[in-house]
Every structure is written in C-alpha cells, then in structure tokens.
Amino acid sequence: MNTLLLYGHEPSLLITRTRVLIAQGYHVLTIVQASEMERISETVGLLVFCYSVPPYLVAPATRLAKARWPSVKVLHLTGPRPFDTRIDGGKHFFVVDGPGKLVSLVRDLILPTAKDVDDDTLAPQSA
C-alpha cells in the first residue's frame, strides 16, 4: 500500500486533508516538522506539503524525504500565499480547486506504473 505523508504547520488543515484522503482509502501519516520523518518506518510514496509550511523549509524537507525514500513523489498544496514553483520538480495543486480534485491528483500520482509491478495489473492495492 502507498503511504501518504502530509507535512504542515496548521493542525486544522492537516486534520481536514487527512480525513478526506482516509475516506478515499489512503493510508495517511502527518508531521509538523521534517525531523519527524526519521520516526516513520513505512515507505512513503507521496509527500504532500501544505501551504502552511514556509517555502524556506520545503527544499530541505524534500531532500530529507528523497534520501529516505528515493522514489517518493512530491505534491505542493498552494493557497493564498505565492509559491515559488522552482523549488523542485513536484506537482502543485491550488487548494481552492477542492477535495475532489485533490483526491484525483493523489490517485494519479500514486498509481503504480508498468515498471513498478511484476504483472499487468495496475489497479491500486486494497486495504
């Protein structure tokens, strides 16, 4: 199963996004500091940055995540504050687009590709 890691500094936003993703069957962990990645024993398939994380913390946290999980994908939730898209090659999602589009984008990012599976079944794993 792909584990999603949500990193944010605003607890209410983390709780809301976690509930939305769990309701869709995703396994979701949350952190409020990048150093908390060290305690995670699972393999993380997608790191999601909330816009509440200041931009100067994004690049170091991305480097830490990619060192721990080399194939991790990154998604940036952008909001009212401008975001520098040059920070890394991650995808960006404007939160005003709503939870349905967030779930759809997450699904697209974590579906295994043909090179990730041994057979021709590309359906997500069930919980």
What residue segments make up the domains of the chain, in order of their start? 3-111
| Total-model pTM | 0.71
Percent of the chain with pLDDT over 90: 40
| pLDDT tens-digit series, residues 76-127 | 887 655 555 445 555 555 554 566 777 777 777 776 543 343 333 333 333 3
Alpha helices for the chain (secondary structure H): 11-23, 55-68, 99-110
- Asked if 87 and 80 count as a contact pair (C-beta separation under 8 A), the reply is no
Q: Which CATH superfamily is domain 3-111 in?
A: Response regulator (3.40.50.2300)
Q: Taking the CB of residue 63, how many other CB atoms lie within 10 A of it?
A: 12
